[in-house]
Amino acid sequence: MPKGKKKSNNSKGLVELLTEDEDWLSPQCETALIEVFNQFDLDKDNAWSVKDMQAFAVSVNGKEFSTEELLEFKDHFPHNDNGYLTQQGFLDFYHLQSSSHPKETWKDLRKLGYDDYLTPKTSSSSTASSSSTETSATPSETEKK
Q: Which pTM was predicted?
A: 0.78
Q: Residue 36, CB half-sphere, CA atoms under 13 Å: how many?
A: 29
- Taking residue 20's Cβ as centre, other Cβ atoms within 10 Å add up to 11
Q: Is 132 helix (H, G, I), strand (E, B) or coil?
A: coil
pLDDT tens for 88-132 read 999 999 999 999 999 999 999 999 999 999 999 864 444 433 333
Number of Cβ atoms within 10 Å of the Cβ of 142 = 23
